[in-house]
Structure 1
Amino acid sequence: MTSRKPQSMKPATAAKKLGIYLPATPQEFQEGEVSREELDELQSNPPEWLTELRRNGPHPRPVVAQKLNVTISGLARGGVTEALTTDQIGELLKSRPQWLVDERANMAAVRDEQKRVREAAAAKKSKGASQHYH
């Protein structure tokens, strides 16, 4: 029987799974491979650098988009192409530039439409199911 090498991932993949911005991580993290066990340990027992990075950033664009309640495309349309710190995100939420107001409204409209479509599909499904049994 051969022993299996533990499955590992590139630092970029691990950073994405951790929701952190790779260039802001320690050099050792950026240069090494991360095993599944190490990733699990980082998630369940984060070291100080990871806790600090999650708290203050800089945050990757998917996290920035989530915190601003817009899409990643919306960030790009608003001119946000780089990672932002928690303070920068807070400043945007406070100052509410027009692009952010517009993108949040777009996101709300998309969510409303998705909800309407789901409800219509559920109503159609339950109506169809009730017709089969009569």
Structure 2
Amino acid sequence: MKPATAAKKLGIYLPAAPEEFRDSEISRGQFAELLATPPEWLTQLRAEGPHPRQVVAQKLGVSTSGLARAGAPDVMTSDEIKALLVEMPAWLVEERSVHAAVNNENARIKTERAAKAARK
């Protein structure tokens, strides 16, 4: 697979990965090995960042769209994320509320569909 695909599946920011990772194709076996026994650089990137937008959104409890609406940076470190969670700016409170409401609505719809399927 391409390095960008592997980075996305690993939840890391590709430009922060070592050059040998960025410049070579990753086989399925190599990818499985990275998951099973992550090297030091991968462990450090996952712990400290910089993190890509999807990981930042997950750690903040918002959607990636919410980050975009707020004008938050595409890439953040773990320390920057922790600082935002301590500060809790108004946009973060609002986006967390919106994200929770959307998740609740999706769960309600899923439950209704399951009940309807069970009745058939």
Does TM, normalized by the shorter one, top 0.5? yes
Equivalence for 1:78? 70
Equivalence for 1:88? 80
Structure 1 length normalisation: TM-score?
A: 0.84
Q: Which of the pair has the greater relative contact order for Cα pairs under 8 Å at 6+ separation?
A: 2
1:116 counterpart = 2:102 = no
Equivalence for 2:94? 102
Root mean square deviation of aligned Cα = 1.2
Match of 1:45 among 37, 44, 54: 37
State the Cα distance separating 1:123 from its structure 2 match.
Answer: 3.3
Point out 4+ residue stretches in structure 1 off by more than 6 angstroms. none
Equivalence for 1:24? 16
Instruction: Give the aligned residue type for 1:65.
Output: A
**Range with bigger deviation, 79-88 or 113-122:** 113-122
State the Cα distance separating 1:69 from its structure 2 match.
Answer: 0.8
1:48-80 Cα offsets, whole Å, 9 max, x none, are: 000000000000110111111110000111111
1:22-66 Cα offsets, whole Å, 9 max, x none, are: 000011111111111111111100110000000000001101111
Determine which structure has more spread, i.e. the larger CA radius of gyration: 1
Equivalence for 1:5? none
Identity %: 57
Secondary structure in 2 aligned to 1:17?
helix
Structure 2 unaligned spans of 5+: none
Structure 1 unaligned spans of 5+: 1-8, 130-134
